Amino acid sequence: MIHLRGHHLIYLLVLLTLWIGDGCQAQRAGCKNVHYDLVFILDTSSSVGKDDFEKVRQWVANLVETFEIGPDRTRVGVVRYSDRTITEFELGKYWTQEEVKTAARNIDYHGGNTNTGDALRYITTYSFSKEAGGRPSDRVIKKVAILLTDGRSQDIVLDAATAAHNAGIRIFAVGVGEALKEELDEIASEPKSAHVFHVSDFNAIDKIRGKLRRRLCENVLCPSVRVEGDRFKHTNGGANEITGFDLMDLFSVKDILGKKEGGTQSSYVRMGSYPVVQRTEILWMAC
């Protein structure tokens, strides 16, 4: 068995410190600098109510803080729907974060029925178009929609959602209260576990804001990894899961540890102040 010597452990901890610092900085920078054409699709049916819709307005304004807003960065648009779908403001209308947040806090509420399928058709045909301020979808600019609803649609959503997916629109579906999970699954992009959210009431929608932000930013931080539920998996066909921050997997420690007789690499590591010796098998994985 090969032991990790003191100076080697110090070296590893220095690398760990740098990785954590760079990783946190990368997360902040990545979320700010990702370029999206982002459209919110907001249910303004009668079941929502004026008081709860005020919480929706603030939720949208808070989420906008995730991004740098600008003509060459993230553009934000909002559509609201009930009996019919109406553009509140287009992707090309506001060029600063404060302008978008102010507009979000003033979104109109009307009441009526819940025609979610019509709303999905509307954003597919119009909201991401050049006329509405949309940009050509490519490796840099991504089309993303965040739909929030509190109930069952009164029209069919599956065909409209499929058309949106085929048009390259990544959809997050947020359900509140009596919203149907089966319908949210039809609306959302794959994998469903990363794109479907459900909360008990409108008081709870802000609790998922952080998780939704992470989902929006994940591909910026590591484009070869996708999130399925609470698991990280490779997108390049690799079968192994990435079970989280398995720090040893992120460093090339072959030169430090060498090889044990028989080819298996392992080490004894003592971390922190806990007098615990843990056997760690070294896995070779890459982001």
The per-residue DSSP string of 131-155 comes to GGT----SSS-EEEEEEEESS--SS
Mean pLDDT score, 140-151: 93
Mean pLDDT of 120-134: 97
Type of residue at 92: G
- The pLDDT-based confidence of 5 (bands split at 50, 70, 90) is low
Is there a contact between 187 and 147 (Cβ–Cβ < 8 Å)?
yes
Output the CA–CA distances (angstroms, integers) from residue 257 to 20, 101, 114, in the order listed: 22, 52, 61
- Does the pLDDT at position 33 exceed 90? no
Q: Tens digits of per-residue pLDDT, 216-233?
A: 887 544 444 444 444 545
Q: Check the CA dihedral 111-113-60-69 and report its sign.
A: negative
Mean pLDDT of the chain: 77
pLDDT score for 171:
98
In the chain, beta strands by DSSP E = 36-43, 75-81, 85-89, 142-149, 169-176, 196-199, 225-228, 231-234, 241-242, 266-269, 278-281
Q: Where residue 178 falls among pLDDT bands split at 50, 70, 90? A: confident
**Domain formed by 34-223, architecture:** 3-Layer(aba) Sandwich (3.40)
Query: Where along the chain do its domains lie?
Result: 34-223
DSSP per residue over 119-130, as a string?
HHHHIIIIITSG
Residue 29 has pLDDT above 70, yes or no: no
- 6 or 253: which leads in pLDDT: 6
pLDDT of 105 strictly over 60 = yes
Cβ-Cβ contacts under 8 Å for 141 (sequence gap 6 or more): 35, 36, 37, 135
Q: How confident is the model at residue 139 (pLDDT cuts 50, 70, 90)?
A: low
* More confident position, 246 or 195: 195
The length of the chain, given as a count of residues = 287
